[in-house]
Amino acid sequence: MDAGMSDTDSVVFTDHTFDDLDIEREILAEADAELIDAEARDDPLETILADADPDGIIVMYADVDADLLDAMSDCRVVSRTGIGFDNVDLDAATERGVYVTNVPDYCIPEVSTHTIAHLLALERKIVDYNGRIKAGNWDVTAGRAMHRLRGQTLGLIAFGDIAQAVAEKASAFGMDAVAHDPYLDPSDVADTDVTLVDDLSTLLAESDAVSIHSPLTPQTEGMIGADELATMKKSAFLLNTARGGIVDEDALADAIRTGEIAGAGLDVLESEPPADDSPLLDLDDVILTPHAAYNSAESVVELRTKAARNVAQTLAGDVPDYLVNEAVLD
């Protein structure tokens, strides 16, 4: 930190994809905090953090582990710009009295719409038809048969805010929805048209499309593998706008290649971007988007605003609105 700035809190934005940080600077300035853009500096992140010893950090993709936290003796908050926080060691932060925050509600309209877009593109063969026409093949009968959505069953793995929005949009197409969420009971969905099922295998077997909305945790990592895919209908699609590590991608590629399921729409992958030899890249019945489901001009502004406010609230001595590790308050 520069001389004369000792009475001013500092916040490091570790990594981001934005053209500028005007939104964050304005919000943090109201809290008398200086924002340091690590992306604009040539030094390694560890060096920047050691020099600044920040009172808080805002993080997009960078891993925040125990060693990184120990390098910041004054850090009070790690603000994740997104819904997931699997790149932050939650236990290590809690042990050190550091708040971890996220922004769980900024892109519900976008992600739910993107999920439905993947389903529509797969069921109506939009990408396949487009490619065939541009290759000179005008043939309405090309490829697998299409089916109407009305009367189909959409299976939702986890039933949080985004999944609920997906179910509502799917109902407009006449789809029925079932959900598996071990943290809910039937009374929690009593005011919806969604039916809870007790086990994942039942959901997989009954659904014409399966949409994943669970966080990536040790319990959900690799949750959809060869056995689970074999349980699905041969005509079913798998949709994932949650986290890539939930799906075994080699098993998914094999299942699509051998016709165990009809295809997949994936916005997230285990490795982003995928390796050149990823088996998913060569499959016509896989539609990929680059972790873009959250993206709209409006959602990005909301994300940045709320992530910065989480930090400003902490620096002001308040509990931030979107505290993840509530155990830190004990």
- Reported as a single tens digit per residue, the pLDDT across 240-279 is 999 999 999 999 999 999 999 999 999 999 999 999 999 9
pLDDT band at 5 (very low <50, low <70, confident <90, very high): very low
Say whether both 102 and 231 belong to one domain.
Answer: no
Residue 3 covered by a domain: no
Tokens representing residue 299 in the block: 């959602």
Residue 6 pLDDT > 80: no
Say whether both 27 and 121 belong to one domain.
Answer: no
Burial (CB < 10 A; 0-12, 13-18, 19+), residue 243, is buried
For position 27, what pLDDT does the model report?
98
pLDDT band at 159 (very low <50, low <70, confident <90, very high): very high
Residue 197 covered by a domain: yes
Output the average pLDDT for the chain: 95
Say whether both 171 and 271 belong to one domain.
Answer: yes
Query: Residue 122 sits in a domain of what CATH number?
Result: 3.40.50.720
Could you tell me where the beta strands, DSSP code E, fall in the chain?
9-13, 33-37, 56-59, 77-80, 99-101, 153-157, 176-180, 194-196, 209-212, 237-240, 263-266, 286-288
Range of 161's domain?
Answer: 108-288
pLDDT over 90, % of the chain: 96
Measured CA to CA, the distance from residue 329 to residue 314 in angstroms comes to 13
Of residues 209, 218, 219, the one with CA closest to residue 241: 209
Tell me how far CA of residue 254 lies from CA of 108, 224, 258, in angstroms: 31, 13, 6
Question: Which residue type, as a one-letter code, is found at position 37?
Answer: D
Of residues 298, 318, 314, 301, the one with CA closest to residue 24: 301
pLDDT digits (tens, 9 = 90+) for 61-95: 999 999 999 999 999 999 999 998 999 999 999 99
Say whether both 117 and 233 belong to one domain.
Answer: yes
Number of domains within the chain: 2
Say whether both 228 and 302 belong to one domain.
Answer: no
Residue 286 pLDDT > 70: yes
Say whether both 277 and 220 belong to one domain.
Answer: yes
Residues acting as catalytic residues: 243, 272, 291
pLDDT band at 4 (very low <50, low <70, confident <90, very high): very low
Say whether both 188 and 241 belong to one domain.
Answer: yes
For position 8, what pLDDT does the model report?
86
For position 92, what pLDDT does the model report?
98
Say whether both 60 and 102 belong to one domain.
Answer: yes
Measured CA to CA, the distance from residue 137 to residue 316 in angstroms comes to 63
Measured CA to CA, the distance from residue 267 to residue 162 in angstroms comes to 14
Residue 189 covered by a domain: yes
Say whether both 94 and 124 belong to one domain.
Answer: no
Residue 310 covered by a domain: yes
Say whether both 97 and 122 belong to one domain.
Answer: no
Say whether both 304 and 284 belong to one domain.
Answer: no
Average pLDDT rounded to a whole number, residues 192-210? 97
Tokens representing residue 182 in the block: 């071990």
Residue 1 covered by a domain: no
Say whether both 155 and 277 belong to one domain.
Answer: yes
Structural element, H or E, at residue 242: none
Q: Is 199 helix (H, G, I), strand (E, B) or coil?
A: coil
pLDDT digits (tens, 9 = 90+) for 13-47: 999 999 999 999 999 999 999 999 999 999 999 99
Q: What is the pTM of this model?
A: 0.87
For position 144, what pLDDT does the model report?
84
